[in-house]
Amino acid sequence: MTMPSYLTVHALTQYIKRKFDADPHLRKVYVQGELSNVKHHPSGHIYFVLKDGHTQISAVMFKKQASQLVFRPESGMKVFLCGDVTVYENYGSYQLYANEMLPVGAGALFVAFQQLQERLTQEGLFKQEFKQALPKYPRAIGVITAPTGAAVHDICTTLKRRYPQAQVFIYPTLVQGKQAAPKIVEKIEQANREQRVDMLIVGRGGGSIEDLWAFNEEIVARAIFESRLPIISAVGHESDTTIADFVADLRAPTPTAAAELATPDYKEILANLLAIKSRMTATVRSYMQQQRQQFNRLSQAYVLQDITRTLRPFVERLGNLEQRLPTAMQIQLMQQQKALQQLTFRLQPYEPKQKLQAEKAYTARLQERLTRAMQGVLLTEQQRLTHTCRTLAVLNPLQTVGRGFQLTYKDELPITSVAQLAEQDEIRVQFKDGHIKATVSEVIEGEDK
């Protein structure tokens, strides 16, 4: 009996693999199923299991194909796959090599949008506390958009119309296609480095979700979040919403609206300034008129017109005090001179040398006593003068009238008692800002009960 020819495991596996590879029906297979055990390898490959209610198959999507996905495959997601079925020789098992992948139901871009929105929300990039305030009166505004098209024209026209004082710097960039997102990030970083502007407007005109997709890229969202310059997102039309809108400091429904939100209207500013100027002018004029009227009233007051006679008694008293001060100093000086003469007489019996020394010592003591005495007299008289001046200030009738009291005169003499008055006497009552004349109808002595 002839011995059969045994194959090695490797040879058998290679044979089966050739059969799989030679079958045209396995070269491009379209399969629908549910993702399970999805693993994103650091190399960029994605390993997973595709299953349905009855069976499952191992699958892999290599880095080149995986990098073209706009969404992130996750376990439990139902997808459409297109790929090749072959045998993995190391384990002798067949598996699916996926070249394309689309989510079942919602479009791939919509799924990618939802995934990124959820992830960035969890990280807190959309929180209001991280939003920067826009400058009220921007010095310069940067615009990151396509250099041609309706968006840049609308923004520049609106800025020039509303706030021509602000400089506008255009940062031209791609806004559509695979290279658009990196270019937008590059312009945001450039504007932050140069610090030529106070804020940025980032956006473009309307279009499909594919046209606007650059503003849904994660790198653009993170660049907007990390920008030190405040950013207004102005992407598409009012109904269009992108990830950039959520992370920006302010979202504008259109590029034109972004220019309006970025600047005040200089016509409104000018109108407000004119109104403020008018109110200030009216206020100053009113104040000056009041002060002029008050000055006229005070200048016509009786007390000010006859101030010399009112202050005459106090001036005379002050003159008397001034005369008394030198008299007291003279008397003190005469007393000291007399004491010096007596000392001189007592020193005559002594020898000339001793007499001279004693006289010098005693003279020095007398001079010291005289100086102290004069200083004491001067200090006493200065204190008396200060006290008198304060008394004069308290007795000043102008201050009394200013506090609400009145001065009463009869025949130009001040009245201090009712005993000086009789019925039918004519009197004059002096107020702060004028006087009245009156006739006494009755004199009542004693306290008013």
User: What residue ranges do the domains of the chain occupy?
Assistant: 9-105, 128-264, 267-299, 303-399, 406-439
- Mapped onto helix, strand or coil, the DSSP state of residue 109 is helix
- Asked if pLDDT for residue 401 goes beyond 80, the answer is no
Predicted TM-score (pTM) of the model is 0.48
- Asked if pLDDT for residue 139 goes beyond 90, the answer is yes
| Strongest mean pLDDT among 271-280, 365-374, 414-423, 439-448 | 271-280
Nearest to 246 by CA among 363, 393, 127, 155: 127
How confident is the model at residue 135, as a pLDDT? 92
Question: pLDDT grade, residue 449 (50/70/90)?
Answer: very low
How confident is the model at residue 311, as a pLDDT? 66
CA 26, 29, 33, 34 dihedral sign is positive
Pick from 242-246, 260-264, 428-432: least confident: 428-432
How confident is the model at residue 202, as a pLDDT? 93
**Beta strand pairing call for 140-145 and 167-172:** parallel
Question: pLDDT grade, residue 351 (50/70/90)?
Answer: low
CA distance 18 to 299: 123
- Asked if pLDDT for residue 424 goes beyond 60, the answer is yes
Q: At what angle do helices 180-194 and 218-226 cross, to 10 degrees?
A: 10
Superfamily of domain 128-264: Response regulator (3.40.50.2300)
Q: Which one is predicted more confidently, 78 or 333?
A: 78
Residue type, 267: K
Neighbour-count burial of 338, counting CB atoms closer than 10 A to its CB (0-12 exposed, 13-18 middle, 19+ buried): exposed
- The answer for residues whose C-beta is within 8 angstroms of residue 332's C-beta and 6 or more apart is 373, 374, 377
> Burial letters for 272-293: b for 16+ Cβ neighbours within 10 Å, e otherwise?
eeeeeeeeeeeeeeeeeeeeee
**Residue that the structure tokens 């009996």 belong to:** 1
> How high is the mean pLDDT of the chain?
81
- Asked if pLDDT for residue 183 goes beyond 90, the answer is yes
The mean per-residue pLDDT over the stretch 386-398 comes to 72
Gyration radius from the chain CA atoms: 53
Task: Return the CATH class of domain 9-105.
Answer: mainly beta
The mean per-residue pLDDT over the stretch 288-304 comes to 77
